[in-house]
Structure 1
Amino acid sequence: MPRPSHPAEKGQLHPRNRHQGRYDFPALIAASPELADHVILNPYGKQSIDFANPQAVRVFNRALLKQLYGIAHWDIPEGYLCPPVPGRADYLHGLADLLAHHNGGTIPRGAGVRALDIGTGANCIYPLIGVKEYGWRFLATDIDDTALACARTIVSANDLGNAIELRQQQERQHIFHGLLGSDEHFDISLCNPPFHASQAEASSGSRRKWKNLGRLDPQRKLPALNFGGQSNELWCEGGEIAFISRMADESVEVAGQVGWFSTLVSKAGNVELLRKRLSKLGARHLHIGEMAQGQKRSRFVAWRFSAASGPAAKA
């Protein structure tokens, strides 16, 4: 099974990513004046925000989405996952490149492309960016009714109801099973899976990140989770490998309805485990997309079962 890979340049975002270079704080503050209350100077004398402050991160994301994508209204409940926007955008650009590779080198744009977002969360970040960048239509799903209610408010407030549909997965232990109608088809699916096996592991991971950044001050009260997140957003029984393995298994059931399946994979060692599982399940094509931002490296894995699988076959 072929495994094409297109690694990112060291530390660089995708060339189409709008978040290149340093953040333009004057422009961000002009778009969202409330951000001014959260701007600090980092040790190098440059403007930044305190990423240990969940409220500051939420306001920062709101400013980014407004200034760069025209998302006028965006907010999430306290304690829900507040995603790093540049990395989320990179995933979408990587998926667009994947679709272009099988479309004569041209990125398919517009409402004729339909994407399925598994676990959209309260932030609804992938549909928002995907609609603004490429004009795709999204079905955004989640098991959490509070998250979906928040996402629905964001979609409605930005008049995106024609482009983004929201749906609850009623069977909490399933991913694709029971989710789609028999007549629904999608060019691509995407997912940011929970990657911890427990709350304790998630908290430990956050503290380790702060320590590595030299910011773990015993006198300072830091959040347990640096970007927030509910249990279903950050951890599940068995952790990331259990979740993406279940996703792979269930993807067989809807193989004729989705052109390309994809998921972020946080732990590099899980890529080979997923590849072996997909091979046994009969996946015919596998793509590993490499991404990078500064010192952080990540990747997504995409697969499909047939060259004539779903609407992507028309590309």
Structure 2
Amino acid sequence: MHPRNRHQGRYDFVALLQSCPELEPFVILNPYGKQSLDFANPAAVRVFNRALLKQLYGIAHWDIPEGYLCPPVPGRADYVHGLADLLALENQQTIPRGLPIKVLDIGTGANCIYPLLGHSDYGWHFVGSDIDPVALASAQQIINANAGFNQAIELRQQQQRGKIFSELLQPDDYFDLTLCNPPFHASADEAASGSRRKWQNLGQRDPKRKLPALNFGGQSNELWCTGGEASFLKRMLRESADCATQVLWFSSLVSKSGNLPAVYKQLEQLGAHKVITTDMAQGQKQSRFVAWSFHNDAQRQQWREQRWQS
């Protein structure tokens, strides 16, 4: 994990249970006799996230509607810290902090996890976007229930399904960063097969237990789209070029490494001046994010001088 990630080492279940007693029914012993969690149970994962956010970030209230994506918090935090390092490259190795740093979260979801983590760790201002009004209502409830977030996080609905930046950015919008966790499956069946693999890896083979459709939850727009991750990334890259002057650094998670060559080729064709890929790992899971900017070195320096030091 990233060295600034708060989720280092084994989970402290004693502290987690103290901060969130409702977690106790979901705690199990793994094959080595250590306390763990029934990660195949969507309810367990949801309460576990609530406990983590309360214990480590002081977020008193966090919940999502049943069936919505429940993200793995440590991995999401790694992405945020990687983006902070990216901004530090433009700022003499010092991470810019505070509300002047504007971040756009594409697909913030019902969980609002990236704005919560990014503001908690760096004080950045976030705009969270989504096409789902139920997800946005849930995210707004989380924001309203936690002191200090109302002034730092705002939400917008993307009214045009299939659009990403188009119809969302206003003419006077300028963002230092955008981030996104794309839907990486091409179908509901593909998403469900991933859940079955997780179930087997966790050793949950009791025939009396019913396999949940998705242990991490998730609506269709959160988990899959026509063409999967590759198709979504292609649209995102194309639209990013249309609003190139309004964003310093675009970025996106890329779950499948096989999609990287097409991403690099398209960014070259679109005229991106700089592309950076940052690898991440949590346990056995390997991931990465790609960041790209249409500003050259001098333009990025000018952006920093005008917007971060004014």
Q: TM-score, normalization: structure 2?
A: 0.95
Gaps of 5+ in 1: 1-12
Deviation at 1:220, TM superposition (A): 2.2
CA–CA separation in structure 2 for the residues paired with 1:70 and 1:262: 27
The residue type equivalent to 2:286 in the other structure is: R
Asked whether the equivalents of residues 178 and 249 of structure 2 are also in contact (C-alpha less than 8 Å), the reply is: yes
With over 3 angstroms needed to count, the CA separation of the structure-2 counterparts of 1:22 and 1:299, relative to structure 1, is same
Pick from 80, 86, 89: which aligns with 2:68? 80
Deviation at 1:36, TM superposition (A): 1.5
Pick from 218, 225, 229: which aligns with 1:240? 229
Asked whether the equivalents of residues 207 and 216 of structure 1 are also in contact (C-alpha less than 8 Å), the reply is: no
CA–CA separation in structure 2 for the residues paired with 1:217 and 1:187: 49
CA–CA separation in structure 1 for the residues paired with 2:194 and 2:8: 27
TM-align CA RMSD: 1.3
Deviation at 1:209, TM superposition (A): 2.8
Asked whether the equivalents of residues 195 and 213 of structure 2 are also in contact (C-alpha less than 8 Å), the reply is: yes
Pick from 167, 185, 192: which aligns with 1:196? 185
Alignment of 1:286-301 (within 5 A): 286-301=275-290
The residue type equivalent to 2:176 in the other structure is: D
The residue type equivalent to 2:275 in the other structure is: L
CA–CA separation in structure 2 for the residues paired with 1:299 and 1:250: 21
CA–CA separation in structure 2 for the residues paired with 1:219 and 1:272: 44
Pick from 23, 29, 34: which aligns with 1:41? 29
Asked whether the equivalents of residues 259 and 312 of structure 1 are also in contact (C-alpha less than 8 Å), the reply is: no
Asked whether the equivalents of residues 80 and 118 of structure 2 are also in contact (C-alpha less than 8 Å), the reply is: yes
The answer as to 2:46 corresponding to 1:58 is yes
Asked whether the equivalents of residues 41 and 212 of structure 2 are also in contact (C-alpha less than 8 Å), the reply is: yes
Asked whether the equivalents of residues 88 and 125 of structure 1 are also in contact (C-alpha less than 8 Å), the reply is: yes
- Equivalent residue for 1:250? 239
CA–CA separation in structure 2 for the residues paired with 1:98 and 1:300: 11
**Per-residue Cα deviation, 1:18-39 (whole angstroms, up to 9, x for no partner):** 0000001111111111111211
CA–CA separation in structure 2 for the residues paired with 1:261 and 1:94: 13
Q: TM-score, normalization: structure 1?
A: 0.94
Deviation at 1:253, TM superposition (A): 1.1
**Per-residue Cα deviation, 1:209-260 (whole angstroms, up to 9, x for no partner):** 3234443444421111120000000000000000011000000111111100
The answer as to 2:255 corresponding to 1:261 is no
**Per-residue Cα deviation, 1:155-185 (whole angstroms, up to 9, x for no partner):** 0101311000000000011000010110110
Secondary structure (helix, strand or coil) at the match of 1:140 reads strand
With over 3 angstroms needed to count, the CA separation of the structure-2 counterparts of 1:59 and 1:274, relative to structure 1, is same
CA–CA separation in structure 2 for the residues paired with 1:257 and 1:147: 26
Pick from 169, 174, 180: which aligns with 2:163? 174
Asked whether the equivalents of residues 131 and 163 of structure 1 are also in contact (C-alpha less than 8 Å), the reply is: yes
Asked whether the equivalents of residues 117 and 141 of structure 1 are also in contact (C-alpha less than 8 Å), the reply is: yes
How much identity, in percent, do the aligned residues show? 67
Asked whether the equivalents of residues 186 and 311 of structure 1 are also in contact (C-alpha less than 8 Å), the reply is: no
Q: How many residues align?
A: 303
- Equivalent residue for 1:7? none
- Equivalent residue for 1:10? none
Pick from 97, 118, 124: which aligns with 1:109? 97
The answer as to 2:84 corresponding to 1:93 is no
Structure number with higher relative contact order (C-alpha < 8 Å, ≥ 6 residues apart): 1
**Per-residue Cα deviation, 1:276-298 (whole angstroms, up to 9, x for no partner):** 11110100100101000111110
Deviation at 1:311, TM superposition (A): 4.3
- Equivalent residue for 1:120? 108
The residue type equivalent to 1:233 in the other structure is: E
Asked whether the equivalents of residues 187 and 228 of structure 2 are also in contact (C-alpha less than 8 Å), the reply is: yes
Secondary structure (helix, strand or coil) at the match of 1:256 reads helix
The residue type equivalent to 1:51 in the other structure is: F
CA–CA separation in structure 2 for the residues paired with 1:191 and 1:311: 22
CA–CA separation in structure 2 for the residues paired with 1:273 and 1:52: 34
Answer with 40-49 or 302-311: which moved more: 302-311
Deviation at 1:313, TM superposition (A): 6.3
Asked whether the equivalents of residues 259 and 313 of structure 1 are also in contact (C-alpha less than 8 Å), the reply is: no
- Equivalent residue for 2:119? 131
CA–CA separation in structure 1 for the residues paired with 2:99 and 2:31: 45
CA–CA separation in structure 2 for the residues paired with 1:101 and 1:271: 23
Gaps of 5+ in 2: none
Answer with 244-253 or 305-314: which moved more: 305-314
CA–CA separation in structure 2 for the residues paired with 1:52 and 1:181: 41
